[in-house]
Every structure is written in C-alpha cells, then in structure tokens.
Amino acid sequence: MSGESDLEFTPPPQEIKEILKNSKVIAVVGLSDNRMRPSNRIGRFLKTKGYKVIPVNPNYDTVIGLRSYSSLLDIPDEIDIVDIFRKPEAVDDVVIQAIKKGVAVVWMQEGVINKKAAKRAQEAGIVVVMDRCIYKEYDKHFMHG
C-alpha cells in the first residue's frame, strides 16, 4: 500500500460538520446497556441532541430506552450514519450490512481502525470517518465551534 494514512479515510473538518448537521438517524452498532461504557454515554448524548438513535446490539431488546436490533439489516428505517463501537475485526460485517442498507456514512469511533473495510465502504460510495469520536467532533463543531 502506497503510504496510506488514516486521513484518507476521514473527510476534512467542514465536511464532518455538514455530516453532523444534516444527519438525522444514527444507528449505533455495539451500543451497550452499561452506563459506564462510552457507547452508552455517546448514544444518550446523541439522543439529547435530537438525533434518532437506533441501537444495534443482539444482546439486548432495548438499550437507553430504545428498541435494539440484531443487525443493521433488521432496521426498517433509513439510516444516515452507522456509528461503530466494535473491535476493528468486526467492522467488515458491519460495512457489508451498511452497503446493503444504502447508508451515507460509516463512522468508526476512536481506536476502531479497519482500512480494508473503510476502502470497501468508500468504493460503494459511502463516506467514511475513521478513528474519530462522534461526541468530540460534535463538541468541536457545535458546542465550542
């Protein structure tokens, strides 16, 4: 691979701001019922900011008071952003589902880096944000921007 960096998998700040401004529905893959987990805190935060949050976690019927789905393909709604809180090796399956679902953006949280999956998503026309915290980006653009 010719000098690939994570930057090629993350849009410039203005585009990230537009994504967050224009998106309404965020499926959070790996949303935990444990209030101490980052996915739970961020899911609740996104809810307070007016996003429709859809938990994706086969281990729960509901998370943060919302119906949880086993996979992206089980969700009847259209999805703007798929926010991934999973181990990097689990991202491939999530991206395959996101492509089938026709989502606009795949967002891999901090520490979630899978270049092969990111490339597959981009080739399918999906915008990829990798190794970035959606809360920190929201905070930067809308609370302290």
Give the number of C-alpha atoms closer than 13 A to the C-alpha of residue 10, restricted to the C-beta side. Answer: 17
What are 37-75's pLDDT values in tens digits? Answer: 999 999 999 999 999 999 999 999 999 999 999 999 999
For the chain, domains (ranges, CATH) are 7-143 (3.40.50.720)
What are the tokens at 18?
Answer: 């537009």
Task: Find out whether 46 and 81 touch, Cβ atoms under 8 Å.
Answer: no
Predicted structure pTM score: 0.93
20 φ, ψ (degrees, to nearest 5): -65, -35
86: DSSP letter: S
Answer for the pair 54, 29: CB distance below 8 angstroms, yes or no. no
Q: In the numeric block, which tokens belong to residue 134?
A: 């959606």
Picking from 40, 17, 24, 31, the residue whose alpha carbon sits closest to that of residue 138 is: 17
